[in-house]
Amino acid sequence: MSPSSSLSDVGAAVDRVVRARRTRKVLDGPWLTPPGGPETPEARAAFDRAVREALGVAGWAPFHFARTEEVPEPWRFALLDREAMDAFVARFPEVLVGKLPRIFAGAGALVQATWVPEDDPARAGRDWEHAAAAAAAVQNLLLACEARGIGSYWCSAAPLGTPEVLSWCGAAPGERWLGALFLGRPLPAEREAVEGIPGKLRDRRTPPEAGWLRVVGGGRDTAER
Ligand SMILES: Cc1cc2nc3c(=O)[nH]c(=O)nc-3n(C[C@H](O)[C@H](O)[C@H](O)COP(=O)(O)O)c2cc1C
């Protein structure tokens, strides 16, 4: 029996979700209705609830140093619901460039992800750990969304992360931006194949042996190193 075939059903489901998560630059509308289904208040409430749940799951990321007494986690997420997204676009129409009008139109929520750097320069050496922890929380969020049938797009288009934009979204001065996370219903598979815009590196993935894994040990004589 190979090690992977001994995974529990839950473990296998986690693997499936990790692999299934993909960048979806076209989303099919905000709500968790079946494709073509009505956008009812109930469907909208279900979507909002699922996003809130996913944010709660995101918070289980590892982090190394308490950032503040009240909120030790270094990440901060600003959740914009559909109304807030409309108000955001009305206030910052310059964000509607390139493919962003389409993604704004199809998303049901937008999460602005930031992290809180150290105030004291003597502790600035911790900042990379804060950023790494916050990125782990972002990935948790994307996976938790995927598990709930919510598609996502992690976008770092510069107009979405200006100090004015972040301040409007409630960020404290100095918070550093990790990106804007668009969330919504994925296109059905057959439409995704035609209309979907995948991440440009999606199909450039390599197996570990191609070079990004260096095995230290594994039968080699580590004393020779
Ligand atoms: C920090 C970060 C910023 C990103 N910003 C953008 C972006 O601005 N525009 C874009 O098209 N994709 C962006 N992406 C998504 C990548 O293009 C995508 O993850 C990659 O092509 C692999 O595709 P996959 O996510 O479907 O596996 C970003 C990803 C990360 C991690």
pLDDT digits (tens, 9 = 90+) for 39-49: 788 888 889 99
Residue-number span of the structural domain to which 215 is assigned: 22-219
How many angstroms separate the alpha carbon of residue 201 from the centre of ligand 1?
A: 8
218/225 Cα distance (integer angstroms):
13
Q: How confident is the model at residue 36 (pLDDT cuts 50, 70, 90)?
A: low
- 76 vs 59, 73, 126, 203, CA distance in Å? 10, 8, 17, 31
Q: Tell me, what's the pLDDT at 224?
A: 63
**Ligand 1: which of 26, 156, 160, 178 to mutate, most ligand atoms within 8 Å of CB?**
156
Is 179's pLDDT higher than 90? yes
Which is higher by pLDDT, 51 or 46? Answer: 51
Ligand 1 pocket test target in 153, 154, 178, 203 with most atoms within 8 Å of CB? 154
Per residue in 56-98, pLDDT tens? 999 999 999 999 999 999 999 999 999 999 999 999 999 999 9
Asked if the structure places residue 150 within a domain, the reply is yes
CA 18 / ligand 1 centre spacing (Å): 15
Residue 50: per-residue pLDDT: 95
In a domain, residue 149? The reply is: yes
Q: What's the pLDDT tens digit per position in 123-173?
A: 999 999 999 999 999 999 999 999 999 999 999 999 999 999 999 999 999
Is residue 35 one of the residues assigned to a domain? Answer: yes
- Domain tally, the chain: 1
Give the CATH number for residue 175.
3.40.109.10
Ligand 1 centroid – CA 155 distance (Å): 6
